[in-house]
Each structure stands twice: as structure tokens, then as C-alpha cells.
Copies of this chain bind each other. A is one copy, B any other.
Amino acid sequence: MAGVSQSAVSRAFSPTASISARTRQKVLAAAASLGYRPNRIPAIMLSGRSYMVGVVIGGLQNPFYATALEQLATALRENGLQVMLMHVEDAVTLDSALDQLVSYRIDAVVTSLAIGSDTVVRALSQLGIPVVCFNSSRVGPWISTVNSNNHGAGLTAARLLAHNGIRYPVWLTGPVRNAASRARGEGFRQGLHDAGSPPAALSVLQGDDTYDSGYDAIARLKKRGVRPDGIFASNDMMACGAIDALRECMGLHCPRDVIILGYDNIPQAAWRSYDLTSFSQHTEHMVARTMELLDEALATQDTPLSRTYVVDAQLIERGSTGCAP
């Protein structure tokens, strides 16, 4: 235990250091018997890098985000980065959450948040902290984004509906602040227009990305006296709510009376009671792109990185659009 310098200990735990095998053995043995574990905190001060990444997320009750977080956390760990998690539901806590992250000197931020006050974005930019956004339209010198091809998926959904001769299409949209949802809606309208469907035929229902809001939206539609025959929902949770409401409130069944598409391809979309056609966002690819962006941003620490990746969403056809199971 005695007889080794402090630097010898440091070197023993550094794979690249020049140290004799004998000394390393001695140190490692002593460490094991004393229960000594190297402390990474001082290295943060010396190097200016913490190898911690702030992950700012909300809406974990949506299985899509839960799955995405799972994959992101795994990828970050495999790249030697720690996850400092911030669950945030409103702009106020977002502000303080980012304060926390900054004070811990995180190397970067990854977020899937639709919200994000501009002051916050500006603050991060000023500090030169790289930010990677999922499905956000935010732009700025230190901000990169990884988006799924929302607009293209909207086009595809419209084409599928047109191909099935839909006359009373419905767009079940998410919150207006959700840029991804807006893009899906724009693609959908565009696609309907391209297919010659009159804009007046489209019913637009406002939801908030929850099951209940999908259910309620269809209930409202019934009161309006509209009998839909094709629905595109901005996410799967709302689509599941819509399917249940169609059956319970209107006596309509999928795909016999109405076909329906969702987005995200959450596990529940494959559950037999829903059998929901959906767009898979390929979170593995999106996470891989995120890691690329992080690697690059952290390698070139001083130069702001601002790149956008668009990952194609893949249509997963199931029974809700008439596909055999």
C-alpha cells in the first residue's frame, strides 16, 4: 500500500499511461484491498469535459418516448457518456432544469421536447453547449436536429387514403406547438390535394397526443354529424383512442367502415385489439444520428455545429388499413 506515489495510482488506472506492469499490479491490488475507486470528478475540472449529457424529456407516458429514451441511454453509455436526466413538462421547470445541467457542466443536451422557451435556447447558445433536438424545428448556431420525415409520411398517409377511395378524411392533430405534428398535417393536406380531394372534405380534430384526447375528438365528430371513412392521427395514442370511440360511440369498425393510420409505431399499435397501421420513426437510426452529431460536436468543441438529419419514417401496414394480420 505504501511506497507508491499519487501519480502512480493515477497511471495505474489510465490505460494509456506509461507504467510498468509490476507497479500497476501493486496499485491495483492495494486499491482492491482498500476499496479505493478512482474519482472522475476532479478530471472534469482539469479537462473541462464531464462526459455527462443532459437528456431533457417530457411525456414519458407515451411509450414512444420511453422507448426512445431507453435506446438513447444505452447508446450514450456505450459511447462512454453519462445521462443526466431531466423530466420537464412546462417551460418554467425547463428553465431551472437547464440551470442545473449547466452548473454540472454537462457536455451537451439532447431533447425531444416540443416546448423550449427561446430564452433557454439563447442561453445554451451563449454558453456554447451543443444541443441535439428530436423532431423539433428549433434552429440556432449550436443546435442540431434529427427529424423523422414527417411531411413525407403525411403525403404517404394521404396517398393510402386516396387509394382506398376515402371521401371523408380526418386529420387528428397534436398540439399546435408540436412542430412534428404540424409537418405531418401539412404533408397530409398536400397529399390529399394532390389526389384531387377537395379541401372542404377534410375534418380537422384537435388533440393533445393522449389516448383520451383521441377518444374525445371522435365523440365530438359524431356530434357534428360527420361519418368519417379515413383517419390520419398524429400519434398512435390518439389513434387508439379514436378506434375505441369509433366503435363505442359510432358503431364503426376498422377497417370495414373506416381505415386509420397512426404515427410512432408504439408497441400497443401491434396489440391485437388495435392492429394499427403506423409510421415507424426508426428510433435506432435517429439515435445513431444523434450519437454522430454528439461525437462531432464534442470533438470540435469551440466551433458551433448546426446540422439537420432527416430519417425516413416507414409505413407499417396492419389491419386498421385493411392489411391481413
- Interface on A for B, CB 8 Å cutoff? 35, 37-42, 44-45, 50, 52, 55, 60-61, 63, 65-67, 69-70, 73-74, 77, 82-87, 93, 97, 99-100, 102-105, 126-127, 211, 215, 240-241, 243-245, 247-248, 267-268, 271-274
Contacts and interface: CB of A to CB of B under 8 A. Distances in A.
30 contacts: A35-B126, A38-B103, A41-B41, A41-B44, A41-B45, A41-B105, A45-B45, A52-B104, A60-B69, A60-B70, A61-B66, A63-B66, A65-B66, A69-B87, A70-B87, A73-B85, A73-B86, A82-B84, A83-B85, A83-B86, A84-B85, A240-B271, A243-B273, A244-B272, A245-B272, A247-B272, A248-B272, A268-B268, A273-B273, A273-B274
Given A60-B69, A243-B273, 17 more contacts: A38-B103, A40-B104, A41-B41, A41-B45, A55-B85, A61-B63, A61-B267, A63-B63, A83-B84, A83-B85, A84-B84, A215-B272, A240-B271, A240-B273, A248-B272, A268-B268, A273-B273
A268 B237 CA distance: 10
Nearest to A273: B273
A249 B52 CA distance: 49
Contacts of A44: 41
The oligomer's copy count stands at 2
Nearest to A100: B82
A274 B243 CA distance: 13
A89 to B, nearest CB: 8
A67 B39 CA distance: 32
Contacts of A60: 66-67, 69-70
Contacts of A247: 272
Given A87-B73, A87-B77, A50 B41 contact: yes
Nearest to A66: B66
Contacts of A273: 240, 243-244, 273-274
Contacts of A102: 37
Nearest to A35: B126
Residue in A211, A243, A267, A271 with the greatest tally of chain B CB atoms within 10 Å = A271
